[in-house]
């Protein structure tokens, strides 16, 4: 386990302007930060075409509407780091937002107890999913699809197929509707979660072990890493973050209904997959996910401002998902080739002449 302190970028091919030239260096910059540059270009383009786009009102609308999707995308990123996929970022919030309301309206819980209860139940649910994947050895897609469908059925049973309405405390509503310096508080939630996940995944042995598990579980296990523990832990963390997102949806809408939730699944997965093509191409990473969601948010907001129909958003999300998976596969293949090149260069010792070595020629004596 002591070897896990090695930098997570140890096997990444480093390209410098002085050693490899401007073309190779520029290609790496475009590959890593191309989506971020695209975000800036889209913002400039939409602002030139529609001056109302470059307004505080538009920024507030984007941040308020996409903050929950960004949190769910970060939740999906966590199990992806260990090589798994969790569909409950969509299924889970159906029950979690209903439960956050019914506990207060029908069971008399304080809003603090309701939130803590939802987070605790979501943690247990994540534990069960982790056990199905890690210990029962069920494919994560199949396991979370099955458990998510069961959870959706529980949400229908719990709500009776009807809307759950009632008077909710102002403090609970403020969890979503508060603004700080004119910025919706949801944006600060996303920033805080992203920074915490970035610090953990990129700068701690815990995060490096997670990437090791996702890269090669067999090799990670041989190196003493508890693969099952990290897999289960990833599902628990993802489920808790999904539970928190469900609480925010409940605070935003003030109504619990089973029809809310599945619309969040596709954009959350798109953001996570798209994120693996930028910042650290070929590897799921936190800031890449944030950039991926920003691309979706800016693109959809710009298209809608120019009169895009109601079907534009799902079309945009679906097409972007196909593109992101294609790009992610290409980036991962390039990353693997770069890693192999680095390993070969490190394993081949430099051949330097030894001036002290005697040369033996025919007829010479030792």
* Residue among 23, 75, 63 nearest 269 (CA): 75
Angle at 76 between CA 75 and CA 77, to 5 degrees: 90
Total length of the chain: 366
Report whether 80 contacts 270 (CB < 8 A). no
pLDDT band at 345 (very low <50, low <70, confident <90, very high): low
pLDDT attached to residue 22: 61
pTM confidence score: 0.82
d(C-alpha 238, C-alpha 70), whole Å = 13
184 φ/ψ angles, rounded to the nearest 5 degrees: -55, 140
pLDDT attached to residue 359: 42
Report whether 172 contacts 105 (CB < 8 A). no
| Tokens 């260069």 sit on residue | 345
Angle at 282 between CA 278 and CA 287, to 5 degrees: 35
- Treating both helix axes as pointing N-terminal to C-terminal, what angle do 56-81 and 227-253 enclose, rounded to 10 degrees? 150
CA atoms within 13 A on the CB side of 122: 31
pLDDT in tens, 131-170: 999 999 899 999 999 999 999 999 999 888 788 888 899 9
pLDDT in tens, 193-203: 999 999 999 99
pLDDT in tens, 301-341: 888 777 766 777 777 777 777 776 776 666 667 666 666 66
pLDDT attached to residue 343: 64
């Amino acid at each position: 386990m002591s070897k896990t302190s090695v930098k997570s970028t140890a096997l990444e091919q480093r390209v410098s302007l002085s050693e490899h030239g401007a073309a190779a260096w520029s290609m790496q910059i475009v590959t890593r930060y191309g989506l971020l540059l695209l975000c800036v270009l889209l913002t400039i383009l939409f602002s030139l075409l529609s001056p109302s786009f470059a307004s505080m009102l538009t920024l507030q609308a984007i941040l308020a509407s996409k903050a929950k999707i960004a949190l769910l995308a970060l939740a999906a990123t966590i199990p992806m780091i260990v090589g798994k996929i969790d569909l409950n970022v969509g299924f889970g919030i159906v029950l979690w937002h209903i439960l956050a309301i019914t506990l207060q309206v029908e069971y008399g819980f304080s809003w603090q107890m309701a939130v803590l209860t939802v987070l605790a139940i979501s943690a247990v649910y994540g534990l069960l999913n982790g056990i199905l994947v890690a210990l029962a050895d069920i494919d994560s897609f199949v396991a979370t699809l099955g458990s998510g469908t069961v959870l959706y059925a529980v949400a229908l049973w719990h709500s009776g197929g009807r809307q759950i309405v009632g008077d909710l405390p102002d403090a609970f509503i403020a969890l979503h509707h508060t603004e700080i310096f004119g910025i919706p508080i949801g944006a600060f939630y996303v920033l805080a979660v992203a920074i915490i996940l970035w610090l953990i995944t990129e700068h701690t042995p815990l995060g490096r072990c997670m990437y090791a598990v996702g890269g090669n579980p067999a090799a990670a296990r041989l190196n003493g890493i508890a693969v099952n523990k990290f897999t289960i832990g990833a599902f628990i963390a993802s489920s808790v973050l999904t539970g928190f997102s469900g609480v925010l949806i409940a605070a935003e809408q003030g109504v619990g209904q089973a029809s809310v939730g599945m619309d969040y699944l596709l954009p959350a997965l798109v953001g996570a997959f798209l994120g693996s093509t930028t910042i650290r191409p070929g590897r799921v990473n936190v800031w890449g996910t944030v950039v991926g969601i920003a691309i979706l948010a800016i693109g959809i907001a710009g298209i809608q401002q120019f009169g895009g129909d109601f079907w534009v958003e799902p079309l945009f999300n679906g097409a972007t998902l196909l593109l992101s998976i294609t790009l992610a596969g290409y980036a991962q293949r390039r990353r693997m080739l770069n890693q192999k090149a680095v390993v070969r260069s490190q394993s081949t010792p430099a051949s330097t002449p030894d001036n002290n070595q005697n040369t033996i020629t025919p007829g010479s004596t030792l």
